[in-house]
Amino acid sequence: DGGITQSPKYLFRKEGQNVTLSCEQNLNHDAMYWYRQDPGQGLRLIYYSQIVNDFQKGDIAEGYSVSREKKESFPLTVTSAQKNPTAFYLCASSLGTPGETQYFGPGTRLLVL
């Protein structure tokens, strides 16, 4: 099946620990995105990548890092510098050309212990 997968569905982090969220797509999309959603709020853009080996900061990049070594994969690391990491994290992808729709994965819920 074609689509976007995120793993794990739930993730627990201890204080001071880095954790990495996985995002994979087999849609042959060039652009990939990470968003954060807090309870009762809309989504906010963390990072995005238009092509392999290139990525840009979004609106709330502090405390996060990403890599884009393969077209299909765009992992997000939540570092210990992110002071309030508890949130719902959503990955999305699009063809990357103007006018193309962005499609979302099922999300990962991160909880700090």
In angstroms, what CA-CA distances link 63 with 27, 72, 79, 101, 110? 29, 24, 6, 28, 14
Please work out, in degrees rounded to the nearest 5, the angle formed at the alpha carbon of residue 26 by the alpha carbons of 94 and 49.
40
Q: Which stretch binds other proteins (CB under 8 A): 14-22, 27-35, 61-69, 77-85?
A: 27-35
User: With respect to other proteins, which residue has the nearer C-beta, 77 or 103?
Assistant: 103
Q: Measured from the CB of residue 78, what is the shortest distance to other proteins in angstroms?
A: 18
Q: Is the dihedral of CA 63, 67, 71, 73 positive or negative?
A: negative
The tokens describing 58, both together, are: 């979004």
Closer by beta carbon to other proteins, 30 or else 80: 30
Length reported for the chain: 113
Rg of the chain's alpha carbons, rounded to an integer?
A: 13
Comparison of 18 and 70: residue with beta carbon closer to other proteins: 70
Give 16 or 98: the residue with its C-beta nearer to other proteins: 98
Please give the residues from 33 up to 92 whose contact with other proteins meets the rule CB under 8 A.
33, 35, 40-45, 48-51, 56, 58, 88, 90, 92
Footprint of other proteins on this chain (CB under 8 A)?
4, 6, 30-31, 33, 35, 40-45, 48-51, 56, 58, 88, 90, 92, 94, 96-107, 109
